[in-house]
A and B are shown apart, each in its own frame.
Chain A
Amino acid sequence: MKKILRFSLYLFLNDYIRDFSGSFWIFFFPLILYLILTSIFGGIAEGENVTFRIGVVYEEKSTAFEKMVSHLKGEKVFDIREYRKVDEALKQLKESKLDVVIFVDKNFDSSFTKAILLAKTKMKLTVPIDIYYVPERTESSMAKDVVKSILKTMEVEIWRSFGNFKDVKVESSLEEKTKKFNMAHYYFPAIVMMTIMSIGFFSIPYSIAEKRERKSTRRLLVSPFGSGEFILSVILNNFLALLISLTLLFSMGMLFYRVPKVILSSQFILQIILGMLIYSMIGLMIVSLVKRTSTISIISNSLFQAMMFLGNFYFNVLNMSWGIRWFVYINPATYILDKLRGTMGYNSYLSNHLLVPFAWLVLSILIVTLNFKRVMGVE
């Protein structure tokens, strides 16, 4: 056991301390990615970061419309620009310099007045307001919806101003979980999973493959330090790396983002250990099946990206078409991450969190056992 521990330390020195890329990608990149994600997406759910650029076109001065626009100007989320000609505004819209264009024609004021007068009668007259938007641009579609809602609210304000208007009392509340929702906390387990997967897909297979290519593993085979001890040392080395990485990540999360202490609970930690075991075995499985480093790189990169983006890490993938959704359900990361988030108090999308991950673990162990010699480079 002492030999295994010593060997693990030597491996750690070789793979992580003296190799800048080893330490960078496992220790520091998760912190950088977490910082980027929280900076960008931190306020998105609440709409804090979003700014919609609205082009407002008056062909002629319109008191009524100006009053409406002044409501929009009051909202922080809008950046209002005024135009006299609709073509100019539409050009800006097409060139992505605006998100929506609101247009009223030159008779708006008179039509509006008539419409209000006739509204109290049985006759109906409506005044159109055109909202131009570009549906293929997400921000344009969203801006259109928001502006539309606000314009309809303004209409109600007009009615209210006539007096004798009955309000509907709306009591709106958020579920406890929703109140507590914090994007930085929500992403935290995703970054943990990404770190585990990086070690499993890259650190472990690359380290073994590189030693195999240099014939270092063969040299070990003819020594009293056997292959079993070597594999165990590799796993231990990477668990140590994960421990350091997570210490940094946990510190950053708890100190700067107030990630709740539940991440230190035994349930959360056990899930991480399980995840690490599974991905370590997957990494060993890859290196036992594939000889060349270049091919390992291809397989590892493909699986890593696919499992990350189709594991519900950053956006919801559970409502995709079945052509791709099947991958989400056979991806062990989906379950481990869902369980980690569940431990933190978020909604759990899946029921059985153990079946698929354990299936991967068992399959990997089986394949590594059958191809054991190939891990060490014995033909």
Chain B
Amino acid sequence: MSDFVSLAKCMFKESIRNKGTMFFTLIFPMIFLIIFGSVFSGGSVGDVQIDVGVVCSENIRESLKTLKGPWNLIFYESESDMDENRKDLDALVWISGESVRILKKPRDMSNMGYLNSFEMSLKILLEKKLNGVKDIVVVRERKIHAGGMDIRPFDYLLAGVIAISILSSGMFGVITLFSHYRELGVLRRFKVSPVRKISFVLGLSFSKFILSLLAAFIMIGVSIFIFHGKYSMNLFLFIVTIISSTLGMMALGIILSLSFKSPTAANNVASIILTIMLFFSGVYFPITFLPPKLRILSFFMPARYVADAVRYTLGLQSMSALNFWLINTVFLITGSILLWVASEISLKPES
């Protein structure tokens, strides 16, 4: 036990005194959080603003003001007035009697969908007005919060940022341990000492768990105090998730360290994996937005499951208990087995 404790203490000091390690574990994920938080913290749909210029008669104006959506209607007296300001508009609308002309020119192409939606809503409104018909169907929007709390897309995104941070620190941390230190010759001295294999590997890895937890809590703190996030955290399950997912991500790092002798090569491959996970695990944008053939990739991305589990523990998403424990168990078992393999290989004599 004492060798585990000594190694754990020393490795922790080694990590926190290393500016690079601390930066990439704690500060770097924060940069992403602040960038993405600033872009998405207001919500997504609510904050989209499309400027639509309209030339129409007075009575139609009043009806148009009832159109609900992320568009800002700017009324002009004449076509020439509207034309002068076309640079600042996403669409130009001319309404005259029973005909409508719309010229769509979104300044941001991602708003094209909203413009199409505006066109549809405008047509429906004008047809109803023209024919004097009433609404038969009333569509009632019912908000459901998966975790029971009123949260924003940013809060949802936070889980993805935490997942990527765990992936990054677990995977790269292990490469430093088993590749970089191996190359430097640090691990050799331990081979000739009487340290137990499992104590060696666990002791050296333990600091990763602590740093992952620290990083996760700091990110939650930042999102609460700067971005006014709201979470209903189950602390025990959150800690379990962070530890098991760190272990799971370390498993990836171990596979890379064992597959590539050079730490540079292992790091490069790890960076590629990280990039792929960023795009294909549904952490920054929905999986349903991926092309159908690529969606299947998301099932193989550990970050997807980590993000789901983190959301569940923060009260942001519903999940069956079975699913939650299955995810954590798989990470725990895979990580443990590979750590054991790494300990056998790291401390065995060279042939």
Direct touching of A and B (C-beta under 8 Å):
yes
B343 within 8 Å of A (CB atoms): no
Asked whether, in the complex, the Cβ of B140 is within 8 Å of the Cβ of A126, the reply is no
- Tell me which of B36-44, B170-178, B190-198, B203-211 binds A: B36-44
Q: Which residues of A contact B130 (CB under 8 A)?
A: 166, 168
The total number of A-B Cβ pairs within 8 Å is 264
Query: Given the complex of chains A and B, what is the CA–CA distance between A206 and B172 in angstroms?
Result: 19
CB pair B105 A316 closer than 8 Å = no
Contacting B at CB under 8 A, from A38-77, are 39-40, 42-53
Q: Is the Cβ of B104 less than 8 Å from the Cβ of A49?
A: no
CB <8 Å contact, B289 and A50: yes
Residue in B closest to A150 when the chains form the complex, CB atoms:
B120
Chain B interface size, under 10 / 10 to 19 / 20 to 34 / 35 or more: 35 or more
Which residues of B, 85-130, contact A by the 8 Å Cβ criterion? 98-110, 112-114, 117, 119-124, 126-128, 130
CA distance A237 to B98 in the complex (A): 66
Q: Give A212 Cβ to nearest chain B Cβ, in Å.
A: 17
Interface segment, one of B214-222, B235-243, B250-258, B317-325? B317-325
Which residues does chain A contribute within 8 Å of B23, judged by CB atoms? Answer: 298
Contact B145 A172, beta carbon cutoff 8 Å: no
Chain B residue with the shortest CB-CB distance to A90? B144
Chain B residues near A48: list those with CB within 8 A.
Answer: 291
Asked if B349 is at the interface (CB within 8 A of a chain A CB), the reply is: no
B184 at interface, CB cutoff 8 A: no
Contact call A95/B128, Cβ cutoff below 8 A:
no
B291–A146 CB distance below 8 A: no
Q: Give the contacting residue for A155; candidates B121, B123, B137, B264; CB below 8 A.
A: B137
- Taking the closest CB of chain B, its distance from the CB of A145, in whole angstroms, is 6
Chain A contact residue count (CB 8 A cutoff):
100
Partner of B153, one of A91, A136, A294: A136
The stretch of B5-13, B26-34, B76-84, B330-338 that contacts the partner chain? B26-34
Q: In this complex, what residue of B is CB-closest to A182?
A: B109
Q: Does B65 contact A (CB under 8 A)?
A: no
Bound-state CA distance A172–B95 (Å) is 12
Contact B142 A132 (CB under 8 A): yes
Binds B, one of A173-181, A225-233, A272-280: A173-181
Residue of A158, A169, A173 touching B103 (CB-CB under 8 A): A173
Q: Say if the beta carbon of A223 comes within 8 Å of chain B.
A: no
Q: Is A297 an interface residue (CB 8 A)?
A: yes
- B234 interface residue per 8 A CB criterion: no
Q: How far is the CA of A173 from the CA of B47 in the complex (A)?
A: 26
CA distance A44 to B335 in the complex (A): 37
Closest Cβ of chain A: how far from B50's Cβ, in Å? Answer: 11
How close is B215's CB to chain A, nearest CB, in angstroms?
16
Residue B139 is within 8 A (CB to CB) of chain A in the complex = yes
Interface centre among A32, A302, A320, by most chain B C-beta atoms within 10 angstroms, is: A320
Q: How far apart are the CA atoms of A82 and B43 in the complex, in Å?
A: 30
Question: Complex formed: what's the CA distance from A171 to B290 in Å?
Answer: 32
- Interface residues, chain B, CB within 8 Å of chain A? 18-20, 23-24, 27-28, 31-32, 34-36, 38-39, 43-45, 47, 49, 69, 98-110, 112-114, 117, 119-124, 126-128, 130-131, 133-146, 151-153, 155-156, 264-265, 267-268, 272, 275-276, 279-280, 285-286, 288-292, 294, 308, 316-320
Q: Which 6 residue pairs across A and B have the least CB separation, nearest first?
A: A94-B318, A175-B105, A139-B286, A324-B38, A294-B20, A94-B146
List 25 A-B pairs, Cβ < 8 Å.
A40-B289, A42-B291, A45-B112, A94-B318, A95-B146, A95-B319, A126-B134, A129-B140, A131-B139, A136-B156, A137-B156, A138-B285, A141-B45, A145-B45, A145-B117, A146-B117, A152-B120, A166-B98, A169-B99, A170-B122, A178-B104, A298-B23, A305-B28, A309-B36, A316-B110
